Amino acid sequence: MAILRLTPKDRAAVLVCLPEWIYEPARDAIARDFSFPDFITAFSFMTQIAMIAEKMDHHPEWSNVYNHVSIRLTTHEAKGLSTRDIALARAINALLPS
Amino acid sequence: MAILRLTPKDRAAVLVCLPEWIYEPARDAIARDFSFPDFITAFSFMTQIAMIAEKMDHHPEWSNVYNHVSIRLTTHEAKGLSTRDIALARAINALLPS
Amino acid sequence: MAILRLTPKDRAAVLVCLPEWIYEPARDAIARDFSFPDFITAFSFMTQIAMIAEKMDHHPEWSNVYNHVSIRLTTHEAKGLSTRDIALARAINALLPS
Amino acid sequence: MAILRLTPKDRAAVLVCLPEWIYEPARDAIARDFSFPDFITAFSFMTQIAMIAEKMDHHPEWSNVYNHVSIRLTTHEAKGLSTRDIALARAINALLPS
């Protein structure tokens, strides 16, 4: 079954619950930056996400410089934001101490 | 410089500050077991330790079954417990929420 | 659906194709030891397996000492060897240079 | 001791031996892109580099999208390319099958 891009209405509804993620209209993507005390904690966070992403079969676009991690989520197959990105964003949020 | 095995007196003094680690006389080693909510958090903990161990050039004997991690520390070159094991045990403790 | 333990006949048939894995009757498990040039390559191998295991939702019992990795596979739910262990053993074999 | 930026002459000499790395004058950095069969092998490569980088106490600027990894090396403290970047580039090259 094809993965469908979220409609503007559905997107607006789900993003209300993800206030830390910035919507990027140009890519129809969401993005969030993270800072950690050091490289080890930053890369450990990436390792957790790598395992989750592989399990979901949905992977982030991400970059790292020392203690900073930047993550962008969009679904290439859907040419924009899909429910997969929302699920991955929620799983990433759940890794952080609340 | 050779890495020296801790004397019984020095060992007793430092182990007072590592009450969660069990001393194993047969191996002159210390050991600790850890439990996590799931495999992903357990393996992420191992990844942090792997980076610390490689940086210290001192590596654990360890095993993992799903959410459990067991770590034993001893120094092969010193044929027993050395200051390197104490340093690694402290670094491992520092990874845990206090 | 319950995961079934392999019958002795089925087990014998599949293990012919996994000659590097040792069958352990006491646990109804298979085990294999690996050696690498150093800790970094050993732990990187473990990281690949961690991602595969999490994706399969089937995890190894394993231990590591510096450049050595020992892996035992069995299925707790089936109380012995199942097709899940065979699939994971094949995936682990596929990581090695042939 | 301060880490010094390579002189143009020294830089030219060392980059001869790193032909796969592209020199970026704007950042005084070197960069290289890598492709792998899948996400697991790409992230495993990153894990190896993470351990090496932490050991060297010199970290890359890098990004990943599925099976692609892009790495840029420069030394913030030196405001440009230093011997640390050359050492890390060589260590990264050594991870690849030759």
Tell me if residue A28 is catalytic.
Answer: no
Superfamily of domain B17-95: Transcriptional coactivator/pterin dehydratase (3.30.1360.20)
Which of the residues A33, A61, A68, A76 is marked catalytic? A76
Residue A1 has pLDDT above 80, yes or no: no
State the chains in contact with B (3 or more Cβ–Cβ pairs under 8 Å).
A, C, D
Tell me if residue C28 is catalytic.
Answer: no
Residues facing residue A35 across a β-bridge: A68
> C8-56, pLDDT tens digit by residue?
999 999 999 999 999 999 999 999 999 999 999 999 999 999 999 999 9
Tell me if residue C59 is catalytic.
Answer: yes
Q: Summarize chain B as % helix, strand, coil (round to 5).
A: 45, 25, 35
Rounded-to-10 torsion of CA D96, D32, D90, B54: -70
Task: Please tell me if residue D43 touches chain A, with a CB cutoff of 8 Å.
Answer: yes
Give the gap in angstroms from C-alpha D90 to the nearest C-alpha of chain B: 18
Give the residue among D23, D27, D24 at the shortest CA–CA distance from D15.
D23
**Banded model confidence at residue D98, pLDDT cuts 50, 70, 90:** low
Domain C21-95 coded CATH 3.90.550.10: no
Residue A15 has pLDDT above 70, yes or no: yes
Asked whether the beta carbons of C38 and C44 are under 8 A apart, the reply is no
As its CATH architecture, domain D8-95 has 2-Layer Sandwich (3.30)
Integer Cα distance of C62 and C32 in angstroms: 10
CB contact (8 A) between residue A40 and residue D54: yes
Beta strand A61-65 with A29-35 is unpaired
Measured from the Cβ of residue D42, the count of other Cβ atoms closer than 10 Å reads 21
> A17-50, pLDDT tens digit by residue?
999 999 999 999 999 999 999 999 999 999 999 9
**Banded model confidence at residue C2, pLDDT cuts 50, 70, 90:** confident
Q: Residue with structure tokens 């679904």?
A: A75
Tell me if residue B68 is catalytic.
Answer: no
Going A58 to A60 to A61 to A66, the CA torsion angle's sign is negative
Q: Which residues of chain B have pLDDT under 50?
A: none
Integer Cα distance of D46 and D40 in angstroms: 10
Tell me if residue A68 is catalytic.
Answer: no
Q: What is the pLDDT of residue B98?
A: 66
**Banded model confidence at residue D2, pLDDT cuts 50, 70, 90:** confident
Q: Which CATH class is domain A23-95?
A: alpha beta
What residues of chain A lie within 8 A of the CB of B46, using their CB?
none
Nearest CA in chain B to C67: B59
Task: Please tell me if residue C51 touches chain D, with a CB cutoff of 8 Å.
Answer: yes
Record the tokens describing residue C94, joined without a space.
């596929």
Integer Cα distance of B4 and A2 in angstroms: 63
Contacts of A69 (CB under 8 A, 6+ apart): A33, A34, A36, A42, A45, A46, A62, A63
Give the residue among A61, A42, C44 at the shortest CA–CA distance from D46.
C44
Asked whether the beta carbons of A88 and A52 are under 8 A apart, the reply is yes
> D44-95, pLDDT tens digit by residue?
999 999 999 999 999 999 999 999 999 999 999 999 999 999 999 999 999 9
Integer Cα distance of C47 and D43 in angstroms: 9
Cα R_g (chain A), whole angstroms: 13
Residues facing residue B64 across a β-bridge: B69, C62
Would you kindly state where each structural domain of chain D is located, as residue ranges?
Answer: 8-95
Record the tokens describing residue D55, joined without a space.
């050991």
What pTM, to 2 d.p., does this model score?
0.94
Asked whether the beta carbons of D39 and A51 are under 8 A apart, the reply is no
What residues of chain D lie within 8 A of the CB of B55, using their CB?
54-55, 57
> C49-97, pLDDT tens digit by residue?
999 999 999 999 999 999 999 999 999 999 999 999 999 999 999 999 8
